[in-house]
Chains A and B, each alone.
Chain A
Amino acid sequence: MNNLLLKTLLGLAAVFSTVAAFAATPLQLSSDVFVEKTVVRADGRKSVVLEKPNIVTPGDNLVFVVSYKNVGNTTASDFVVTNPLPSAVLFNGTSDRLEVVSIDGGKSWGILGNLRVVKGDGTVRPALHSDVTHLKWNLNQPLTAGAGGKIIFRGIVK
């Protein structure tokens, strides 16, 4: 399944890379969303597969994939990717936890475990996934010509 998945994603990345970017922009950025569905196989076992989001209902698990590629011939540095979370989506983490998040609409940033929410009565509680409004990845290595990658995060339809 994983190989299939990777092939699917790589195929999609290939599609995106054929989309013409701005001539002056040597970097391409593309976004895609998949939905996790549980299917029951012939032998009765359940497996989770990623599908194009044909049917999406509240509670579904979404996988967001942001692909980037340097299609120019110069090196890009200080590469930062920002993804505002759609309002109908609850952040459900990443597998690598390299993201920083904002819980105030992108004004301030930090690792989720370090952020605090001031409640109405003045007391403070730790920030939760449900507080996240924006995600950001800071890649401090130069992105050389031809290099690229993917960022993946998960969400749940509220």
Chain B
Amino acid sequence: MIAKVAPNRTALGCRIFSWYSLCALVAAAPFLTFEAAHAAGTLAGTDIQNIASATYETPSGPVTIDSNTVVIKVDELLDVTTISSDPGDVLTSPGTSGNILTYRVSNTGNGSEAFALTANVSNGGDDFDPTFQQIAIDTNSNGVYDAGIDDIYVAGTNDPVLNPDQSVNVFVITSTPAGPANGDRANVSLLAVAVTGSGAPGTSFAGAGQGGGDAVVGTTGADSTASGFLAVQATTLTLVKSATILDPFGGNRPVPGSVVTYSLVATVSGSGLLNNLVITDPIPSGSQYQAASITLEAASLTDAVDADAGNYNGTRISVAAGNVPAGQTRTVTFKVTIP
């Protein structure tokens, strides 16, 4: 005799076997094959069929009977999860277009489902609002936005349809206005909503589920939002010019024959990179440019327009200092003589 145990929550069946005890008998039973279980659970529309069979002895011999078959259909659970795929802030700069923020939308329900996507560039609590350009679907699933290859999302037209456990990368493309300062951040969020319906968990939509059953909102509410962030990197440039004079007598007076060395120091501050810094300076009237006197970071440059960064065109010197990271300086010098 097997000891009886405490009743369960439904308080059913505790007494059912009180008349019986257990013995060892073997009965044949059909073999069942098991489907691979999804993380999202049994596929919507699957029928759960239960049938019991019994064997017993009668005076006229053994008998086997089957019960009725109970069939219940698994309904569709509507669930979605959106996450930001960017490892950190995506860098931008004032006036830049084509900022790409990447998200991943996953169908965590148990049926094939379409999801409507909405981007919000006007979230509170951040420093600026970028301008929305478009949403793109990572058609070739490489995680990188490929203009012309990845489909541009049009709500209601190409809502991504995801199977249970399937995910898709979504890009939200924005532009940065001219105003934001270095370090300003913008919150850009992506909302994915099950097209069949969303709302409070447990809300059901009769007959709307895959496979003919109902659709039921799961724990995610069948909608999910994730935020990605843009961070502005802005540089500021200051240019300081100074002059030193060497007169023919070893002093520093501006007399005929004196050589004036001008020094231009460009300082890049802020963060990021200043692109294509070009420093130019006209030769002061009443002075003569001293040939081949241009230097950049103490390295001599020729006067001709050629492979090196500097040139003199008869009225001004010009030095292309290239891309300069914030925090660095570039120093250009040139010399003139006082006639």
Contact = CB atoms under 8 A, between A and B. Distances in A.
Given A88-B42, A157-B48, A31 B69 contact: yes
B14 interface: yes
Contacts of B314: none
Nearest to B110: A58
Interface residues of A, number: 76
A59 to B, nearest CB: 7
Nearest to A70: B56
Contacts of A48: 9-10
B31 A31 contact: no
B16 A136 contact: no
A26 B9 CA distance: 33
A102 B216 CA distance: 34
A6 B58 contact: no
A25 B63 contact: yes
A74 B58 contact: yes
B214 interface: yes
A105 interface: yes
B249 interface: no
A84 B68 contact: no
A154 B65 contact: no
A57 B32 contact: no
B46 A88 contact: yes
B8 A154 contact: yes
A16 B30 CA distance: 25
Interface in A76-91: 76-89
A6 to B, nearest CB: 7
A107 B11 CA distance: 32
Given A77-B56, A95-B5, A141-B20, A31 B10 contact: no
Interface in A101-158: 102, 105-107, 109, 133-134, 136-141, 143, 149-152, 154, 157-158
B52 interface: yes
B51 interface: yes
Given A58-B74, A88-B74, A81 B53 contact: yes
Contact of A84 (B12, B29, B65): B29
Contacts of A80: 25, 27, 54-56
Contact of B216 (A6, A55, A106, A140): A55
Given A80-B54, A96-B4, A106-B31, A29 B75 contact: no
B32 A133 contact: yes
B250 interface: no
Interface string A46-79: 0010100111111100111110100000101111
B65 A36 contact: no
B54 A55 contact: no
A82 B53 contact: yes
Contacts of A154: 8
B59 interface: yes
Contacts of B69: 31
Given A32-B70, A48-B10, A27 B50 contact: no
Contact of B32 (A85, A136, A152): A85
B142 interface: no
Interface in B298-333: none
Interface string B39-77: 011100010111111111111001101111110111111
B147 interface: no
Given A5-B12, A95-B12, A97-B2, A57 B58 contact: no
Contacts of A77: 56-58
B22 A76 contact: no
B24 interface: yes
B59 to A, nearest CB: 6
B41 A81 contact: no
Contacts of A158: 37, 41-42
Q: Which 6 A-B pairs have the closest CB atoms?
A: A58-B41, A106-B29, A152-B13, A105-B31, A31-B67, A76-B56
Interface of A: 2, 5-6, 9, 16, 19, 21-22, 25-33, 35-36, 48, 50, 53-59, 62-66, 68, 74, 76-89, 94-98, 100, 102, 105-107, 109, 133-134, 136-141, 143, 149-152, 154, 157-158
5 contacts: A5-B11, A29-B67, A56-B48, A78-B25, A96-B5
Interface of B: 2, 4-14, 16-17, 19-35, 37, 40-42, 46, 48-59, 62-63, 65-70, 72-77, 110, 204, 213-214, 216, 218
Given A74-B58, A133-B32, 8 more contacts: A29-B65, A57-B216, A77-B58, A81-B54, A138-B25, A140-B20, A151-B17, A158-B42
